[in-house]
Structure 1
Amino acid sequence: MADLVYPPVVGAARTLFKALDLRFDIQGVENVPREGGAVLVSNHIGYLDFVFAGFAARPSKRLVRFMAKDSVFRHKVSGPLMRAMKHIPVDRAQGEHAFRHAVDALRGGEIVGVFPEATISQSFTLKKFKTGAARMAQDAQVPILPVALWGTQRLWTKGRPRDLRRNHYPVTIRVGSPMSPGPEESAQAVTARVRERVQELLEAAQRAYPAKPRDEKDTWWLPAHLGGTAPPPPAAV
């Protein structure tokens, strides 16, 4: 079935990015497979991360089907769009249905997007990864595509007002090489290996990020270990 809604939504996002004059630094897009299933795994620092992680797949002409909490699908505006774009609802009380849905999509040649931290990290450091992405990749026998985002938290993140009016925000995206789970590897071992790779990509994105805080009040978007005032991991909600 043709995607009648997803491409226009991507076009609208591109128009928004242009209007905001976002400055993108994207590396590794050649690592996105042009065909076949894959699990895209990304860190999670802002509400618009699914847009930017999906944007990284567009040079390969791929559309990413993201897993998202089912409340988003019940919303009167976002719900019809999410369903039309074939994203995958997750009912945390009945996660097995979403898992099977995602595995079927992967076997059908789709890229499924997962945020294995499950929620936004308010410390902007990696939280513990859940094993679902690894288990899906193993069940469907597809690779895992690690992605790191940086700068997206400045636009809209948990506990902060949206800032979609300020122009020129840099957004840095790094896409790693596909990772294949070993045939005898446990889901926990695969997850640990993927988390380590996402951490490497995140650190590379942070090193490349061209912007610095404007003043002392603007240090909120930097983690403590980089000299910022974001809450340390134990205090993050």
Structure 2
Amino acid sequence: MFTHFGRYILLLKAVFKRPEKWKIYWTNIFNEMVYIGVDSLYLIGIISVFVGAVMTLQIAFQLQSDLIPRTIIGSVNRDSTILELSPTISALVLAGKIGSSIASEIGTMRVTEQIDALEIMGINAPGYLILPKIVAGITMIPLLVTISIGLAIMGGYIGGTFSGAISGADYYRGITEGFVPYTIAVALVKAFFFGFIITSVSSYQGFYVKGSALDVGRASTKTVVTSCIAILAADYVITGLML
């Protein structure tokens, strides 16, 4: 375990060395931002809408009491979505979609000796291959989480009003009353670290692949498992520190 952590830190040091040509890096960063952000938008959107709708129904079911105002449903759904559901669920989904893809891409380059060719040419392979992915991850995943929050709250409105669990007026009042902007900051901090974890862990797993295509597949699977565990651990730590 400590050997892996040491190699992970050494790889990050190599990643953040000063680039040889920023122009080439900017092109790669833009391409990675499109892949991580734009190409993942539909998936995050669909999941967020349904999660918000289901959460509204579950909260309404658990708060069946004449003593509890119906506006509480909107408030609980809003805070749960901002603080936990959108950042964490989005990160876990992206760990499977993006993380496995990055690990497979870099791992394939390793077993086909493309990385060795870059190093022979004097190119900083970790920086050239990994830095654009990390920059895109810490930039686009907070944006995706922000969109996820909005869509999940909208999904809660749709699910609640269509099912009759809550009126549109009560839901709107619930999500607007008592709102604390600090919760958005917590969600974005989580998204930033989750983006770093997903891209760096997947890059590490792919960069140190040894063997054949079968080992690339195993690295991809290991990436998803490791990233999910790291995301949940980071979620606990950040929540404890900021709340």
What TM-score, normalized to structure 1?
0.29
Q: Which has the higher contact order (CA 8 A, sep 6+)?
A: 2
Q: Identify, as 1 or 2, the structure richer in helix.
A: 2
Higher strand residue share:
1
